[in-house]
Structure 1
Amino acid sequence: MQLRKYTTSDCGYLAELFYHTIHSVNAKDYTKEQLNVWATGTVDLKEWDESFLKHHMVVAVEHNEIVGFGDIDESGYLDRFQFKKFMGLSPRHVNLNCLFS
């Protein structure tokens, strides 16, 4: 897996990845209604892009496919951390200092 900086052209794919990850990985722990509130399937891509550009943002790529992403704001708050369900990763599995420094 390769890590690279976020680019604006990633935004639409990351929004799709976010939606599908929430609705597959988290489906066993939340009701459909809760999932739909969390990830509606409709996001303001301009707003997301602006947010990503303000944060320390990385994109994980494997075999030329985006498989995950994460971002931390200036205060150190881990805002989003999403990986395709087959990756089996969580924040505790990744050295975030390495990712975002």
Structure 2
Amino acid sequence: MLIRPYRATDFAEIHQLFKQTIQTVNAKDYTPSQLAAWIGPDDAPTRARWQTSLAAHTTRVACQSGQVVGFADMTATGYLDRLYVHARYQHQGIAHALITTLEHAVSADRYTTAASITARPFFEHEGYRVIRQQQVERAGIHLINYIMEKASKS
């Protein structure tokens, strides 16, 4: 597996991986309407916002045999915005490698994220703790997630 910096040419593959992962991996914890709201619209303004944030953040892509199998991005303040691993590549250490790479690349006092119900156990295993449960609204649909944090080792 290779972990490398994000390139703008990765966007289409990353966005497809995001949608497919939510539709399969998160389906056990969220309803179909919640999954659709989470994925959101696939229009030009949404794609532009994604591309802008991926370029502005420290973003890493995991590749295997030339295929993108995961990606993650973190702000300069240590907020892990997105972490997704392709459904066929779950439980192979890819998410751990991505998060470890980002935590080494971004110097912060603490790392935070808003973890899904599905991702919460992974983050707890990585040393994050739940600060609070919250409900977020997407397109009028409410989804539960968890604000989590981890103290920096530096």
Shared fold (TM-score, shorter chain, > 0.5): yes
Partner of 1:69: 71
Q: 3-state SS of the aligned residue for 1:30?
A: coil
Q: Which has the higher strand share?
A: 2
User: Is 1:16–1:41's contact at 8 Å kept on the other side of the alignment?
Assistant: no
- Per the alignment, in what secondary structure is the counterpart of residue 23 of structure 2? helix
**1:19–1:40 contact (8 Å) kept in structure 2:** no
Q: For CA contacts below 8 A with separation 6 or more, give which structure has more relative contact order.
A: 1
Q: 2 CA distance for matches of 1:91 and 1:78?
A: 15
Match of 1:88 among 81, 87, 90: 90
More displaced stretch, 34-43 vs 52-61: 34-43
Aligned to 2:50, which of 41, 48, 52? 48
Higher helix share: 1
Q: Tell me if structure 2 keeps the 8 A contact 1:67–1:83.
A: yes
> Which residue of 1 is the match for residue 59 of structure 2?
57
Structure 2 alignment gaps of length 5 or more:
106-154
CA gap of 1:92–1:65, structure 2 versus 1, over 3 A, is closer
Check the 8 A contact 2:73/2:82 in 1, yes or no: yes
What secondary structure is seen at the aligned counterpart in 2 of 1:74? coil
TM-score normalised according to structure 2 size: 0.59
CA–CA distance in structure 1, aligned partners of residues 50 and 18 of structure 2: 12
| Contact 2:4/2:60 (<8 A) preserved | yes
Aligned residues: 100
Report the Cα distance in structure 1 between the residues aligned to 2:68 and 2:88, rounded to whole angstroms: 13
Larger radius of gyration: 2
Q: 1:49 to 1:92 in 2, by over 3 A?
A: closer
Coordinate RMSD, CA, aligned? 2.0
